Structures are given as C-alpha cells and as structure tokens.
Structure 1
C-alpha cells in the first residue's frame, strides 16, 4: 500500500515524524502507534534494501515520498517499498485490489483478544462471516447489526460446526474489552486490525463479508436483512 508521509485516511489522523533517535512513527487517533522497521525498507525498482541513514536522507530531500506496504498473511508489514521515480508522488487509490464475488478469499492468520489464533484456510467446510469495524467504543460500532447477525447464527443447527464469525477492529485490545459488551456473542474479536482492513481493500465501515465453505467470497453485505445463512449452508 502506498502512503504519503503526511496523509489523512479512514477517519484516522496519520503523521510520520522523526524523533531525535531517528525512529519514524505513525500516530493514530485510536491510540495505535506503529514503528517503521528500517530493516524492511526496499527500493521498489531494484529490490535492494535501503539503509536507514540513506532512507532518512531520501525523506529529507523528498517530503512527498510514498511508501508501499506489503502486508503479510498475519497482518504485519513484510516490506516497505520506496518508489524513487519522480513521477511516483501523485495520489493513488491504495485499495484497488478489491476481492470480488466468487474469488478465493486470501488466507489470514490473526490472534483474538483471548490469544486464540484463527487461520482462514483451516476453516474450510464452514461459512465464515467477517465483520470490519473501526473503534469498538464509538458510534461506528453498530451493536444492533451485530445482534442481528448473532440471531441469524443462533438459528443454525450445530452452529459451531457450520459457522465462524469474526470481527476485525481497528481498536486495540483494551478498547475492545471496554467497548464490546455484547454477552454470548458468536463473534471472535481481532484487535489492531487496520492492516487487515487495508490488505483486503475495505473502504466502508462497517463492512460484512460472507465466505463460503470452499473459501470463496459470497458477498459484501450492506444490509444484514439480505443475509440468509441457511441458504448458504450445505447439509
């Protein structure tokens, strides 16, 4: 994913600053702070690693420098690619690789607030519901819609064997534990999911996705009333 050094995106105020120790950080209003790992910065054209001192000089000479983030299966940054082309500073749509209906949904490995690991590829045979939310303690968290989805899941016979429900929050673990007060919910909660949201090209919040038993994307649901889980489940 490409970013300018100073940008506003997805309701987050993002800035990259240099401290005296030359550490670059991106500060999010959701209390998330991500440090850029200098060992992961590469020249996009040559594929060669860029040394820390050289990168700092490059940023100093080019305040509009864009970084392309390569996000791994675990939601962490594998690489930062630097495009040194003079034509690389125009604004680009970072979420252009949208997953379409019928496509195999990319595998992911994520850890819940209860320290359980979830791997999508290991959920084959189940209907998987992915919900993407921003802050767990704000108006953007639509509890009523979560309740609606829970009600649909509860109507499924042997639901634990047939359905897996997951919410990716941009919020940290503490905020989720404070904000998510729905008891007996079927959803597993993933904290700090901003990179997953970017990896899967999610631009609308909340977004609800259903993946079929073969791992393929069924639909993006804007209205929960359109979701019929029983019709999707193979007996």
Structure 2
C-alpha cells in the first residue's frame, strides 16, 4: 500500500503507537514482533489511487516513509501474538461491517429492526493484507483513517541498546549464510554444537555471526554484532538486569 499525495508525503498523522510483544519458541527463546497502530485525518494523507500512480500523477512512496507533521507515541506493553492478530481482525471486521451496512439499508433494517437507520461512517477504502489492514472513513464531510501493521521479527530483533537478540538460531544462521553467499559469492559455513544446534556463521575463516547463550535466562544474542552491551570477549549477558523477571517484563 502507498501513502502519497500530489505534493509527496504530507500526512497529518495524529497517532502512531508501537506495541512490542514477545512469544517463545520451542526452545524457550523469545520471539519478538511489533504491532504498529497509525491513524490520521485528511483526504491528502490517504493512499494514492493506483490509477494516479500508474499515470504518473502521484509518485509512489513507501508507507514506512515518515510523513511530515507526525505526532508519535511509544507505548511499551506486553501482548501475545494472538492479541496482535486480534487488532488486525478487529479493524478489518469494523471496516467490513460499516461497508456492508452503509451500502445495504434494507439488510441493515432486516437485521436491526424496521425503524433502524445506519448512521455510522462510510468506508472510502478498505485494504487488507496478511499483516496489515487499512480503513479510510468519512462521516459528515470529515475523512480519517486507521492503519494497523504487524511486523514479525522471526529470527532476530535489534534492541535500542544495539543488542541483536536471536529468536530462532537456525533461521538466523540460514539467512546470514544466504546473504553472505549473495554478497561475497562464497558459501558460508554454519557452525554447530555437539547437539547439532546452529551456533554461528563463518566466512573466509572469520566469524560472521556468533550466537551466545546465557545459562541463567536462556536468551541468545549475536556476539559478533557490534553493540555497547556485549563486551568482548563474551561473558556477560546483555539481559542480566532482567534475570529472574517474567517474560512480560522483557519488552
């Protein structure tokens, strides 16, 4: 989906909230994701029509491009992956129901009684994806929109302190090995421990990734990834301040 205007990105976004949630893999390693909730008002901040984009009247701009006049709020809250999906389905259901009720007054009366009239907003645009739902509303000449996106950091998550936490070591090493082969043109070697679990990636005899594990909390991080929280040589857990805390306190 594109958020563009004739003058570029000029959205009047009033709310942008990020919820971080964590689930646990089969090995007990946290798997982190983000739920981004955005809302705004004004016709100019709505996604461009595909016809305008193809005709060259509107330049395509990725949705992640920061619009001007943005007020952003960050909220730390622990929710499960299922709760994040409920945010998507909730907005999707609201858009579908409003679209149905506004277009079929007879059906609305049949469901709610002969004297019922739909007075809710009209749906100007409804876009649904696997991990994203966008709904543009209009009521009494006022246009506003809601946008919910789920971003899944399946194999790793970069914390604000610079620590790269590993969510799934096999997927992470496989992705880095494939990236090294594409960039360097050389097949990388995935190192493994005695149990056959991936512990890192080596390229040209050097460590491209080194997965360290804390014996106290069980969390993993890439010790080869530069970070002020991972001293060299490894030996201290960057999450030691969270030891003994429930997973809900980690994010």
TM-score for the superposition, normalised by structure 2: 0.25
Q: TM-score, normalised by structure 1?
A: 0.27
For the pair shown, the structure with the greater C-alpha radius of gyration is 2
